[in-house]
Amino acid sequence: MRTRGFARCCWLIGAMAVVTPVAAQTPAGTVYGVDELVALALEHHGEVAQGIWRVRGAQAVQRQARAARILPRLRLNSENGWVPDAHGNVLDAPHDSAGYLATLGPFTRNTLEFAQPLYTFGQLSSLNRAADGGLAAEQAALEQTRADVRLEIKRLYYGLLLAQDMSQLVARLTTRLNAEQERLADRETLSLANGYKLKLALIELATRQREADDKVALARGALAWRAGLDTTALFAVADTGLAPVAGPLPALDQLEQWAARHRPEWRRLAAGVTARQAQYEAARSARMPQVFLAGGLRYARAPGRTDQHNPFVKDDFNYDSAGLYVGLRQSFEWGLLGAEVDKTRAAYEELRARQADSEQALRLDVQRAWTEYQRADRDRQSADDARHLARQWLQEAQNEYDLDPDTLKDLITAFETWAKLEQAWREAVYRQNVRWAELERSAGGMPEERQ
């Protein structure tokens, strides 16, 4: 009886030494799944908000480029005030100018002018393509930020699930250890040394539990912060434990082709090349003459002044006229214009060189993520097989010990191995889920998700 009571304590102490608790019990509160947390993060994340405003700024630039094509100059200038009255003309002018200030009268003067580009040698169309490319680049950058946020939330979410699973495993050990202490408290089946070992083990377990509670509070706070939740509010995750979340693994060449079309970084780079090329072409066109159509209307009236019908007499307060003409504008700042061409070409060629280098880097990154996921999947399968073998070994070792108490050492070894492999299996599932999320990020999503 003394030997068997001590054996049970050894099993628990051995398992406790190899299983490190990292989480406490899940608090009550609002329940969130990983998709809900991702949606909340995308709604409240600061970097996402910054990206949205950058997209809106690019949309404004695009509208400016569009507006430059149709009547980029259309203005009305209206002036109203008081002016001295003036009656007569140059041949019949009044002889009395007394009471000058007493003869003020109202006037209105209005000018409407417009200008319409006719031919710009491709400058306006190039500026429009540059604006379109800039908008596409900012939209791709926003999607890149959102993809990073999704990956970050999934890592935190799966990490919390791992912590909860490990906490439950340690909780079962704690319950059995406390039960063993109560059962042996009033019996002589436990030696003095082993009794102290049992008490010290409980103290060590309580210390580890406090450390785990602090880690869980920090991890939960980090997840709440990145998801845009109140860091002081209690919440729980929807999944009760870790489980593989991966779907069918596409072929490597299929993922590479998919990434070339859908990965945000690649789309951002391609849009940037288009924008830089258009800016370069616009800078070249700026050296050419600009042909435009312009004109306007001019109208002024002052009731207290005689309207002069002589075309050689000018009165700034009584007139009406209209005009329409074709103009040509040519800039001769050859040094400044040439420098701008060289500047935009350098930016364009630099981005083209980066694009050529990034194509192979993209394929290698997809290949890396694909290979790491495959390895994580095989590791999880191996951990699952080892876990089941350890359970079988533990059961057989316990049955053998019931028949032969001399096999105590084998039973303790089996129990320690089982505890290690239970922890290893949960960590393997966590790594597999994270590697799947990283593969989704690297490929720009999975093909079946976009269909």
For range 51-55, the mean pLDDT: 96
Closest by CA position to 429, among listed 392, 368, 384:
384
Interhelix angle for 46-67 vs 34-44, to 10°?
50
**Domain spans in the chain, listed from the N-terminal domain onward:** 2-450
d(CA 399, CA 354): 66
With beta carbons less than 8 A apart as the criterion, state whether 87 and 94 touch: yes
For range 203-227, the mean pLDDT: 76
Element at 328 (helix H, strand E): strand 319-329
Structure tokens at 186: 């009033």
d(CA 252, CA 180): 54
pLDDT of res. 414: 81
For range 440-447, the mean pLDDT: 91
Q: Which residue has the higher pLDDT, 19 or 421?
A: 421
pLDDT of res. 14: 47
Q: Which residue has the higher pLDDT, 419 or 108?
A: 108
The sign one gets for the Cα dihedral 399, 404, 408, 414 is negative
pLDDT of res. 106: 93
pLDDT of res. 304: 87
Phi/psi for 345 (5° steps) reads: -65, -40
Q: Is residue 191 very low, low, confident or very high in pLDDT (cuts 50, 70, 90)?
A: low
d(CA 346, CA 339): 11
pLDDT of res. 306: 86
Quick one: what percent of the chain has pLDDT higher than 70?
Answer: 83
Tell the CATH topology of 2-450: Outer membrane efflux proteins (OEP) (1.20.1600)
Structure tokens at 357: 């280098």
pLDDT of res. 255: 92
pLDDT above 80 for 233: no
Q: Which residue has the higher pLDDT, 291 or 356?
A: 291
Structure tokens at 34: 């990983």
pLDDT of res. 298: 95
Q: Which residues of 194-208 are buried (b: 16+ CB within 10 A; e: fewer)?
A: beebbeebbeebeeb
154-168, 314-328, 369-383: the lowest-pLDDT one:
154-168
Q: Is residue 13 very low, low, confident or very high in pLDDT (cuts 50, 70, 90)?
A: very low
pLDDT above 60 for 20: no
For range 388-395, the mean pLDDT: 91
pLDDT above 70 for 45: yes
pLDDT above 60 for 2: no
Contacts 24+ apart (CB under 8 A), 182-189: 183/5, 184/5, 184/9, 187/1, 187/5, 188/2, 189/1, 189/2, 189/4, 189/5, 189/6
Task: Name residue 75's beta-bridge partners.
Answer: 113
pLDDT above 70 for 6: no
